[in-house]
Amino acid sequence: TPPKLLVFAGSTRLASFNRKLAHTAAELARAAGADVTHIELADFDIPIYNADLEARGTPPDVMKLKQIMFEHPAWIICSPEYNGSYTALLKNTIDWVSSPVKSDPAWHEGFKSFTGKVVGVLSASPGALGGLRSQSHLVPLLLNAQCWVAPKAFALGRAGEAFDADNQLLNEAHRKNVQAVIDQVLFASARLAA
Ligand code: FNR
């Protein structure tokens, strides 16, 4: 069976570079034989985390996302950079999903949706560094949540000039860099599953 790969971006902006990069990554991973699920965080109705709110019941869309993440052993995250770090959207999503569900013993274990995932990190920014500093915060978070982070990552700089009108990466070297991360993620998740 082909490896199941989950792809998502930490931005909901309509013209988001990271959503475009996620789209490219999903296409390349499908071409590499992966069973790809590409989700948009905008499709999930998730409030700002609050433990009082959680005590009244984990929101249904958090449960939905937990289930999707649980079912995918490999992930690609496309991370924008805000103020030298990753976005509040990404942090809020991860905080909700990583929190044990108090009312459901099946989900009570901490980091259940994260433990053992192989995660490839991509980023994109109009700046020269391509959101690299968001990765330097996101990677330790993922390690703390018990993920295996792929050693290769890619930061797409000058993202405003990187895509054509059909949202395809113009530069073959950029595609190769994305491909290299996907290859590592699929390789490592197959090895861990063996
Ligand atoms: C930014 N941006 C930004 N870019 C960067 O390279 N380093 C940074 O520290 C920041 N900081 C920052 C803070 C805030 C509050 C905003 C709104 C933006 C610019 C950012 O990279 C740009 O808006 C991207 O287009 C965001 O990613 P998406 O939405 O295109 O995926």
Per-residue pLDDT tens for 26-39?
Answer: 999 999 999 999 99
ipTM of model: 0.99
Question: Mean of the pLDDT values across residues 41-54?
Answer: 97
* Cα–ligand 1 centroid distance for 14 (angstroms): 14
- Give the DSSP H/E element, type plus range, for residue 75: strand 74-79
CA 74 distance to own-chain centroid:
10
Closest residue by CA, ligand 1 atom 12? 82
Decide if pLDDT at 110 tops 90: no
The pLDDT assigned to 31 comes to: 97
What CA–CA distance (Å, rounded) separates 109 from 115? Answer: 10
Decide if pLDDT at 103 tops 90: no
Ligand 1 pocket check for 1: Cβ under 6 Å = no
Q: What is the set of domains in the chain, with CATH numbers? A: 4-193 (3.40.50.360)
- Give the DSSP H/E element, type plus range, for residue 36: strand 35-38
Determine what percent of the chain is predicted with pLDDT higher than 90.
94
Within 8 A by CB and 6+ apart from 139, the residues are 121, 149, 153
Within 8 A by CB and 6+ apart from 186, the residues are 3, 5, 29, 32, 33, 34, 74
Ligand 1 pocket check for 79: Cβ under 6 Å = no
> How far is CA 148 from each of CA 10, 76, 140, 144, 159, rounded to the nearest angstrom?
19, 12, 11, 10, 27
* Cα–ligand 1 centroid distance for 189 (angstroms): 31
